[in-house]
Amino acid sequence: MKPLSRAASKYELHNSRHELFGYEASGLIPNLLSVGPEHTVFKLRPLPYNITLLLYSLPLARRWHRTSTVNVTYSSTYDDSDQSTYTVNCSAGLIDRGYTTFGSLPSFPNIGAIPNIIEDHSLCGTCWQLNYTTTSGDDNTIYFAAIDTPPDSSSFIISQQAFDDLTSNDNSSSTITAVATQVNETICGM
């Protein structure tokens, strides 16, 4: 393997071959350390020492996709603009950013809960796209910020207003199946 001599901000990870700008890096496994709106930090191992790389080359939404079919329901709790962010699992991170009530969140009322936030606080404030085809055949899309975890830990829960926008009030059920994709946080204003 050739030495890695380029500036850290210019490295680009290619998942298919684990290359760094043409330098063969076989045997190196990228470990995601942290995600921010403008960069992602990886550590490449095994090396005699750890190299931390800041990747600025592509928007986060193009680097990492989390897409799956999910059950979606609603809670009117997330419609209350005066509700304190102290009541959700992501309270510490939200308050540190200056968001003290649901109404102060840039994506309000498009907020909600996703599974695994308790185990993975890096999901706090992430932005999610939900796609749903109504019974009349319309394809609807909304975006919402994840700020909490659902009590049942398996469904996505969004505000009733966001749910009504997603379903075009075209559903008599309080639970639907939709396609969820994690997208760049800036889409939700986070």
> pLDDT tens per residue, the chain (190 residues)?
444 433 333 333 333 333 333 333 434 444 444 444 444 444 444 433 333 333 333 333 333 457 899 999 999 999 999 999 999 999 999 999 999 999 999 999 999 999 988 867 899 999 999 999 998 899 999 999 999 999 877 899 999 999 999 999 877 789 999 999 999 999 999 8
Amino acid of residue 87: T
- CATH code, 184: 2.40.40.10
Domain that holds residue 55: 8-59
One domain for residues 158 and 116? yes
* 40 lies in the same domain as 129: no
Same domain, 76 and 150: yes
- Residue 50 and residue 97 in one domain: no
State residue 97's pLDDT score. 93
Whether the CA torsion 29, 32, 36, 37 is positive or negative: it is: positive
Per this entry, what is the length of the chain? 190
Question: Do both 31 and 81 map to the same domain?
Answer: no
In a domain, 171, yes or no: yes
Residues 133 and 85 in one domain: yes
- Based on the fold, state whether residues 149 and 119 are members of the same structural domain: yes
Residue at a domain's end among 59, 75, 100: 59
Do 130 and 149 lie in one domain? The reply is yes
H helix runs in the chain, sequence order:
60-63, 91-96, 160-167
Question: Which domain-ending residue is among 25, 40, 59?
Answer: 59
| Residue 72 falls inside a structural domain | yes
Backbone dihedral region of 153: left (phi > 0), alpha (psi from -120 to 50 degrees) or beta?
A: left
Residues 127 and 184 in one domain: yes
In this structure, is residue 3 part of a structural domain?
A: no
* Residue from 83, 85, 115, 79 nearest 99 by CA: 85
Domain boundary among 38, 59, 80: 59
DSSP secondary structure code for residue 104 in this structure: G
Classify residue 121: in a domain, yes or no: yes
Domains in the chain, number: 2
Nearest to 186 by CA among 37, 72, 6: 37
CB burial of residue 2 (10 Å; 0-12, 13-18, 19+):
exposed
Question: Do 31 and 100 fall within a single domain?
Answer: no
Please give the model's pTM, rounded to 2 decimal places: 0.65
Q: Are 176 and 160 a contacting pair, CB within 8 Å?
A: no
Query: Looking at the domain assignment, is residue 1 inside a domain?
Result: no
Query: Looking at the domain assignment, is residue 2 inside a domain?
Result: no
CA distances from 162 to 28, 41, 57, 189 (A): 42, 32, 33, 16
